Structure 1
Amino acid sequence: MRLLILTQKVDLNDDVLGFFHGWIKELSKKYSSIIVIALEVNNYDLPENVEVLSLGKENGRSKIKYIINFYKYIWNKKSNYDSVLVHMNAEYMALGGLLWKLWGKRTSLWYNHSHGSVWARISTYISDNIFYTSPFAFMAKFRKSVKMPVGINTDLFKLNENISKKDNSLLFLSRISPVKKLKELIEALLILDQDNIDFKLTIAGEASEGSENYFNKVKVLSKDLEMKGKVQYIGSVPNYETPSLYNEHEIFINLTESGSFDKTIVESMSSGTLVLVLNESLKDFLPKDFIFSDSSPQVISDVIKKALSMDSDSGKNHISKNRAYVESGHSLKKLTNSLYGLL
């Protein structure tokens, strides 16, 4: 079997999309050959049976160039793949889906956003399969949709006994944008600071494109906490370096709303870090005390305060359950086995 993958970026050093490099490597064990077409290609280290092609974003933006390269690649390589997996960027399915059907290629779309773009809606009629991970995702309602494991490399993301966790440490790991609600988190920490609660938050990530002003306002808001040593910004971190970051911290905080299912939540669970989330995708597994009922600063501060006061034995028990949850339902091997059976 031969597979064509279309994705946004191939770069093992990318802080957000670096994980997909691991997905490709794991899938390469199951297919005789894989062709990857990405909007942007930078650093990668993949097996010989994987060919990587770029639409050219790393050399400058040009939508016309992207489209020309897209059709050139899928046409020139059409005899070298049997099935197609489009990862997140539904426009590729909308642009190429009818040709792939004409050529007898089986098509699948991975789309896990809470809202469906015009491209995504078109793609629902073209794709043979649609994959998602969150029960609140836009695609979850379609008959051809299949809920999939998140796909965490549990050999990489695991508890490291050689790394000591910092007392009362909190971690926020994400691209910075309003949807991630870092501002609300800082406002909650200001409440905790007024109550003389001991904590230290590490913020890993840079502003998303167009969110630079938002990030600057957050930094101004957190200035006093920074000066007190209660907040630190460390910039973006490559995905393969984040296991150490998770292991250094006691609590991981994610304030993304239900609809998507951030991989960082499951990565942190696999790495031995307690998680506090707003996303209701985990409401059937996590204790209620670990889920924010809303994103108001007071609610956020109350949940964090309770988590910081948890005794050691309870924390270890939750960590053990989190790891088992990931291994049984969301490992990368489980994901690639599921994909191979459907693609």
Structure 2
Amino acid sequence: MRLLIITQKVDADDPILGFFHRWIEEFAKQCERVLVLCLEQGNFHLPQNVSVASLGKERQRSKPQYVARFYRYIFAHRREYDCVFVHMNPEYVLLGSFLWRIWRKRIGLWYVHRQVNMKLRIAEKLSHVIFTAAKESFQLKSGKVHVLGHGIDTKKFFCADPKMKNKEPLILSVGRITKIKNLETLVRAAGLVKTRIAEKFVVRIIGDAVTAEDRALKTDLERQIFDNGLAGTVVFMGSAPHGQMPEVYCSADLSVNLAPTGGLDKAVLESMACGVPAFSSNRAFAPLFGPLAPSLLFRHGDPEDLAEKITRFFAASPSGIGARLRQSVIAEHDIASRVSDIAGLLDDLA
């Protein structure tokens, strides 16, 4: 199969989208040829059967220029691909589907988000097949949907020596600083934990504030941290390159994800893959946590419940949890299996 991939960014170092570099590598193993058209490109090193072209965001091109370059590319290379895989951006399905269907190209859309808008509704009608990570990750009813799990590089996200931790217990939160991440609950929970255990601990927040609203939120959180005497306990670390994230996870004793129930947040799965226990308020993780769910799931927006479960974890120092969580991710979310499934389903349509 010869595959055209449409994605937002190809950059192995990007803190948010760097993971997709590994997806492309896996697709290269499954396909005769892979063409990648991205909105923006950065640092990449891909197999010889992969070519990458950019719509030019890194050169600050305009939106009309993006669209013109998009059409020029899909037309010029129309004889070099059999199927199209659109990653997370349904607008590209809207832009390209008319021509792709005339040329008898099969269209697959990967979508993992709570949001349902008109673009997604139309893209669902125009795509031949839709892939998502969990049933909560795609909110439209459709017979085209295949729930496959996420694609986590479990060989990369692995702690060779999980006992190599900091002297002080370390709690990690990974992801963009934005309202839906509910970081104020983590700050309040940290204040409660501080009153309940004698041991000093640190909470590191890994991620950036991207928009003006995000930056205002971060300023407010910094004020809360200062007002509650948590300076030095709760620390904003900024983002880290994707390639450094396994080391970041492996330095932690546990991670916390505070998003509401919905799609499976990749940060939780990466933590689990590293054998680092992950606490979450997203009940979609209950099946993956299995019998550990009562200990790892906390009520959304409830700092008291989170603080209680963190305190119990530190008091019990349970062994074997990390290994069990890692095996769950390997079984259901390993990148090689997921990409193989996607390629197989697309190939069956061609």
Aligned twin of 1:251: 254
For 1:310, give the aligned amino acid.
A
* Residue 48 (structure 1) shift: 1.5
Q: Deviations over 1:42-75 (max 9, x none)?
A: 1111111111111111111511111111111111
Aligned twin of 1:132: 132
Structure 1 residue matching 2:14: 3-state secondary structure:
coil
* Residue 235 (structure 1) shift: 1.2
* Residue 137 (structure 1) shift: 2.1
Structure 1 residue matching 2:104: 3-state secondary structure:
coil
Q: Deviations over 1:278-327 (max 9, x none)?
A: 1112112322121012212222222222222233xx3x321111111111
Aligned residues of 1:38 and 1:54 also touching (Cα < 8 A): yes
How much is the aligned-residue C-alpha RMSD, in angstroms? 1.7
Unaligned runs of 5+ in 2: none
Aligned twin of 2:312: 306
Give the whole-Å Cα distance in 2 for the aligned partners of 1:272 and 1:334.
20
Structure 2 residue matching 1:284: 3-state secondary structure:
helix
Instruction: Give the stretch that moved more between structures: 300-309 or 250-259.
Output: 300-309
Give the whole-Å Cα distance in 2 for the aligned partners of 1:201 and 1:280.
23
Aligned residues of 2:131 and 2:342 also touching (Cα < 8 A): no
Structure 2 residue matching 1:283: 3-state secondary structure:
helix
Aligned residues of 2:225 and 2:231 also touching (Cα < 8 A): no
For 2:146, give the aligned amino acid.
V
Which of the numbers 301, 325, 335 marks the counterpart of 1:332? 335
Aligned residues of 2:258 and 2:300 also touching (Cα < 8 A): no
Relative to 1, partners in 2 of residues 1:97 and 1:139: Cα closer, same or farther, differing over 3 Å?
farther
Give the whole-Å Cα distance in 2 for the aligned partners of 1:305 and 1:141.
41
Relative to 1, partners in 2 of residues 1:163 and 1:22: Cα closer, same or farther, differing over 3 Å?
farther
- Tell whether 2:116 aligns with 1:110: no
- Tell whether 2:10 aligns with 1:4: no
Q: Deviations over 1:2-51 (max 9, x none)?
A: 10000111111100100000100111111111111111111111111111
Aligned residues of 2:173 and 2:203 also touching (Cα < 8 A): yes
For 2:267, give the aligned amino acid.
T
* Residue 179 (structure 1) shift: 0.7
Relative to 1, partners in 2 of residues 1:80 and 1:190: Cα closer, same or farther, differing over 3 Å?
same
- Tell whether 2:228 aligns with 1:222: no
Aligned twin of 1:291: 297
Aligned twin of 1:268: 271
Identity %: 33
Give the whole-Å Cα distance in 2 for the aligned partners of 1:257 and 1:160.
31
**Where do 1:78-93 residues align within 5 Å?**
78-93=78-93
Aligned residues of 1:226 and 1:232 also touching (Cα < 8 A): no
Instruction: Give the stretch that moved more between structures: 324-333 or 184-193.
Output: 184-193
Aligned residues of 2:191 and 2:230 also touching (Cα < 8 A): no
Give the whole-Å Cα distance in 2 for the aligned partners of 1:259 and 1:93.
24
Aligned twin of 1:182: 183
| Aligned residues between the structures | 340
Relative to 1, partners in 2 of residues 1:78 and 1:297: Cα closer, same or farther, differing over 3 Å?
same
Structure 2 residue matching 1:109: 3-state secondary structure:
strand
Give the whole-Å Cα distance in 2 for the aligned partners of 1:59 and 1:226.
44
Relative to 1, partners in 2 of residues 1:226 and 1:341: Cα closer, same or farther, differing over 3 Å?
farther
Aligned residues of 1:163 and 1:248 also touching (Cα < 8 A): no
